[in-house]
Structure 1
Amino acid sequence: MFTDLLIILACSLLVIALFRRLRLPPVLGYLCVGLLVGPAALDLISSAQDLPHLAELGVVFLLFSLGLEFSLPRMLAMRSRVFGLGSGQVLLCGAALSGGLWLAGLAPVIAALLGLGLALSSTAIVGKELVSLGEVFSEHGQNAMGVLLFQDLVAVLLLTLVPVAAGQGDTPWYWALPLTLGKTLVLFFGLLLASRWLLPKLFREVAQAHSAELFVMLALVIVLLTAWLTHLLGLSMALGAFLAGMLLGESHYRHQIEADIRPFRDILLGLFFVSIGMLIDLRLFAEHGWTILGATLILLALKGGLVTLLARLRGDDGETAWRTGLALAQAGEFFFALVALMRQQSLLEAPLAGVLLASAFCSMALTPLLLRIVPWLNERPRSSARHESRLEEIAERNAGLMNHVLICGYGRVGQSISRFLQREGQPYVALDDDPVRVEEAGAGESHVHFGDSRRHDLLEAVGIARARLLVVAVNKADTALSIVAQARRLCPELPILVRTRDDSHLEELQHAGANEVVPEVLESSLMLASHALVMLGIPEWRVHQRLDEVRRNRYRLLHGFYHGAQASLLDAQGRPRRLLHAVKLVEDAHACGLCPTELQLEELGLEVQAVRRDGHDLPLEPAPQLREGDTVLLSGPLQAIEAGEARLLSGA
């Protein structure tokens, strides 16, 4: 086993490095490693009997980390996707594929089992790619994850039906199905009780010990213990891991847990893809190449088309529908387990099983490429126009702005300045290159754009020529220098105010054209905001009045900020920061039809900063009645924000 692992990891290191250089998906690289080291090619792996069990843990860790993102309130809000779209996809695709296999000459029972097995998609590949592409929370990403969760439950039910179909099962199917559902409910409520009463105390004790080793160990024990308990119940380990992660997703430790298990997840998931590649016999492609190609294309087209149709009937727009279909078009890893079990029960002949497995493998191998290339090809005829249209869209949205402030960098300092500008009624536009921060801010604000502030075309699109002031609030000194130099070339007379962490680049920035350079040590955000207001011509007495007011209120105006992908959630003393978080009310959200005061969010330590509807702030007095599509902007500590989001979405 040691030698096998060494060979796999060494080959993976070389192949994945090459694939990253070629900008190809890592998943495809792992599958190729499996093909190369497997018995059908170089035969470097003699007997890796324990590899599938080890590799399956990769899927367990992946589903656990996805569960951390899809907390219980979010899943309750997604129930129409899980049970509506999920059940429709399994039934429709299963019926179509079963009918096709029956027409091809298979027995009805065998065709039904194989058709339902092919109807299920690859949780590992789709989940991994959606995470890599940052599309987990897109509309098509949530559609795909909802359907995949339903498919995991169906996979367990199918495995219980194979012995019954072979006439060897001890339990009839009409007992096997409710028994499996009952076990799932027992597991769910057991994990729910543990997540409410036991796990918070464990994490609190470990956190107080300030030991990273203990925290990692506890996270690993929870994942592995959940998988073991699920396996004992005869259920899918991946489904149990997702349920555990989903319930822990309401915990304020979820970010730390996800960061701790990520290295284990990625390595074990790579082993899983390698093990899938090792199952394929390359000689099949020489003997039945055209048959495998035809079966692969039929599978992708049929499943993708039917899922697209279902998504459109559900009410999704065209792009969301076809991208959902594209994500779910392939066969899944469960199909390999199903075919192996059917071979053991003598329900399937070896030649047919080999062709089916090769076709399923090809559909899985093509998926990472399709998820990346097809959307790009769809945009290709207008790729250059897309870039221009995005700039034109930004330019159009800001065409009416005159004498506004342009903020480059929308971190904590940039957001602090924007709030002072809002209070004074001064228009502003912000640019930032952190997609998470822009997405968070964009949920509640329409004047924050994603992009590299060093690009002259982007600066022109946000109206730098009509701006009254440029504020550079980025973290990196070299980036700030480039922005200042670019802005000075475009607008020689524009006043430029720069924030730096210290004064080490003071002379360089002044030489590049900055009018004022304010190091953070000079009272950071407040000092920078005061310079901005004075440079805009606001009377100094009013500026001092505002600053005194902020200090009297203990900087309440500056409380909370939109955290980005790399932002720390703790301050220098290890205390939780006060954050801003925009919660968009989806269909069936608990808060719809209620007023913010009725939700008693103040009890959780939260402040409702704003309620936005169709891009406009609603007056908070009297309290507005919330409805679907509203965005509620919450301010508070991370734990309180998570609890507030749960109350808004599910009433928990």
Structure 2
Amino acid sequence: MDDFLLQAVIYLSAAVLCVPIAKRLGLSSVLGYIIAGMIIGPYILGLIGQKGKDVMHFAEFGVVMMLFLIGLELEPKKFWRLRRFIVGMGLFQVILSSALLFAGMYYVLGWDMNVSIAVSLTLSLSSTAIVLQILGEKNLSNTTAGRSSFAVLLFQDIAVIPILAMIPFLAADDIENTVSQSIISNLAPWLQVLIVIGAIGGIALAGKFVISPALRWVAKARLQELFTASALLLVVGVSYLMQIIGLSPALGAFLSGVVLANSEFRHELEGDIAPFKGLLLGLFFIGVGASVNFPLVLDQPLFILASVASLMLVKFIVLFALGKLYSKSLDQNLIFAFIMCQAGEFGFVILSFASQLNIIPLEISDQMMAVIALSMFLTPFLFLFNDMFLLPQVGTKTANEESAEIPDDIDDNEVIIAGFGHFGSTVSRLLHANNISMTILDHDSERVDILRKMGYKVFYGDATRLELLKAAHASKAKLFIACVDNPEVNLKMAEIVRKNFPNLKIMVRARNRIDAYNFIDIGIDNYYRETLYTAVHLGVDALTSLGMRRYTATRQGYKFIKYDTHTTQKLSKKRHDQKAYFDTLRNEINMQEDILKTDLYVFKSSEKWVDELDE
């Protein structure tokens, strides 16, 4: 136990120190974790070694969680709509890259066929973490290069499942040891197939008729930690089911994610699992960095560097040819090829799995891990070279280039509305009537269930949680509207959104002037006081009932709101000084009434003059 805690402290300390430095240098967090592992590994500081295996077994569960989140993002309807681009470009890229790499390993290097197959499939995948980070930082997500990269990455993420499933069949003599843990391994082959198909079908049915109702029941308790525990139980339970029937736990996690992709709990599940996934994957990549065999790399520097160059050149050629096939402009094609030509983090997962099954010799595994890490490390620098030297020679990137390749993500809506009670539903109906796309978040599971049956795209979740806002793509929205009935919750949401999404405009519901002061303090000017607008509306109707013209009464009401809003801004600065506050309040009320009376006198005089002209 003491060794486990010490190793955990070392892992976490290395991550906390190295990852922020990597981010400051413009590198991927994945590279930060790998570098941290290299430093604390047995070949540099020697802080971890065989004793770190307990932590690594725990951290490998992060891969399972990552596949669950990939499945959760894969809405079947969205995938079917984009099938021509995802399957077309993605399939061609994986097949062509794997074929060329296999030819080099099998015919040039003389490696064993099974080793060549496993390594070529491993290196054909690109780094989702690095590519999406660069696309986001460079504002390239909506270009044709960005959309094509997303399509290929999505296919690669899905392709990991069959790759992991077929790896054990390359193990030759060790295949019996691989499946001996399965409770169905001694049954007849036809019965094993039926059980496997039944288990997969059972997961699909359970998602709709068991898991979703169970999550609704848990959500009624309104305990965040209970819902988080349920999310973890879901991933662990389905993964364990797949394992005991002889399939990969990752396959179970992926399938359960796909089943729940259309659920109202999708964003909440993603928000709950993401922190665990991020932490465990971070520990996994630290372990990968620690396993890089530096003495071997230093003994064979030319082979390692030549392998990195060959890998990136082969993938660049394949990607560039695909871009030409899909009629990309030269500048977009260069971006697409440069940003995708590295190996990816899933390569570490597949190499580790293949090494455990003794498919890949330890020496080759160490070499290829070094190749993957170096290719990922070089990608930001190659992209910078392309940006500074090549693109100026061939044209300018067009961030808003029109293309029918991949339509905008249906979840990347212009508006996010938090709270779908009477207030929020009124706002949303008005926006929807004017063809505004929205993502709606609400923390009442029963209301969410009812509204989804009515056709609204509502998701269950607590919008004060940053993970949920990220899952709802707040970074891509234009407007965030806080409509929750509790002013403290609205204030907390406004603070989180303003801090983490500074470009997102915020409009917020406030009950009264006191709530407005709090929003003003954090820099929110677009607050809407219920008591003010409702009271003014009632006052306008009262004036109309007493004989004033509707237009005149409405005009006076809008002027009252304008002057009162100005007064609120002034009073917010003095509310902590009671004497100054009330002196200012009295002066402002008197001044406001005088101005309104003067405006009314002038306006009525003009109305009277117009009436006399009409006569």
Give me the TM-score of the superposition, normalised by structure 2.
0.59
Matches within 5 A, 1:25-40: 25-40=28-43
Letter in 2 for 1:232: I
Question: Equivalences for 1:11-22 in 2 at 5 Å?
Answer: 11-22=14-25
CA displacement 1:182-223 (0-9 Å, x = unmatched) = 887555422210111101220121112222222111001011
* 1:102 aligns to 2:106 (yes or no): yes
Map 1:21-420 to 2 at 5 A: 21-46=24-49, 47-107=51-111, 109-110=113-114, 112-121=116-125, 125=129, 129=133, 139-164=147-172, 186-314=198-326, 323-326=335-338, 328-333=340-345, 335-336=347-348, 351-367=363-379, 369=380, 373=384, 377=388, 381=392
CA-to-aligned-CA distance 1:407-428 (integer Å, 9 cap, x gap): xx9989999999999999xxxx
Moved more, 271-280 or 17-26: 17-26
Q: Whose helix proportion is higher, 1 or 2?
A: 2
- Please report how far the alpha carbon of residue 48 of structure 1 lies from its aligned counterpart in structure 2 after TM superposition: 1.7
Change in 2 beyond 3 A, CA 1:419/1:366: same
Q: How many residues align?
A: 451
Tell me: higher relative CO, structure 1 or 2? Use CA pairs within 8 A at least 6 residues apart.
2
Alpha-carbon shift at residue 300 of structure 1 (Å): 1.6
Distance 1:194 1:131, change over 3 A: farther
1:7 maps to amino acid: I
Q: CA deviation at 1:79?
A: 3.1
Q: Aligned Cα RMSD in Å?
A: 5.4
Counterpart of 2:125, as a letter, is S
In the alignment, is the contact (CA less than 8 A) between 1:501 and 1:520 conserved in 2?
yes
Distance 1:525 1:187 in 2: 60
42-51 vs 84-93, which moves further: 84-93
**Post-superposition shift, 1:166?**
8.3
- For 1:414 and 1:250, the matched residues in 2 are separated by 22
Separation of aligned partners in 2, 1:325 and 1:183: 43
SS of the residue corresponding to residue 209 of structure 1 reads coil
The amino acid of 1:10's aligned partner reads: S
Structure 2: distance between partners of 1:149 and 1:243? 13
Q: 1:525, 1:289 → 2: CA distance?
A: 77
Following the alignment from structure 1 to structure 2, what is the Cα–Cα distance between the partners of residues 21 and 305?
A: 31
- Counterpart of 2:78, as a letter, is R
SS in structure 1 at match of 2:343: coil
Provide the rounded CA distance (Å) in 2 between the counterparts of 1:364 and 1:541: 66
Question: Closer, same or farther in 2 for the Cα pair 1:222/1:347, shift >3 Å?
Answer: closer
Aligned to 1:494: none
In structure 2, C-alpha distance between the alignment counterparts of 1:201 and 1:518, rounded to whole Å: 36
> Which structure 1 residue ranges, 5 or more long, are not aligned?
172-176, 394-408, 425-433, 442-447, 449-473, 480-497, 531-538, 548-652
d(CA) in 2 for partners of 1:332, 1:420: 45
Kindly state the Cα deviation for residue 275 of structure 1 after the two structures are TM-superposed.
1.3
- Preserved CA contact (<8 Å) 2:130 2:376: no
What are the equivalent positions in structure 2 for 1:436-585 lying under 5 Å apart?
Answer: 436=473, 503=513, 519=529, 521-523=531-533, 541=551
Shift of 1:340: 5.9
CA gap of 1:202–1:144, structure 2 versus 1, over 3 A, is same
Following superposition, the deviation at residue 224 of structure 1 comes to 1.3
Q: 1:62 to 1:321 in 2, by over 3 A?
A: farther
Taking the aligned partners of 1:115 and 1:339, their CA distance within structure 2 comes to: 8
1:96 CA drift (Å): 0.4
State the distance in 2 between where 1:75 and 1:2 align: 43
State the shift of 1:122 in Å.
Answer: 5.2
Closer, same or farther: CA 96–284 of 1 in aligned 2, 3 Å: same
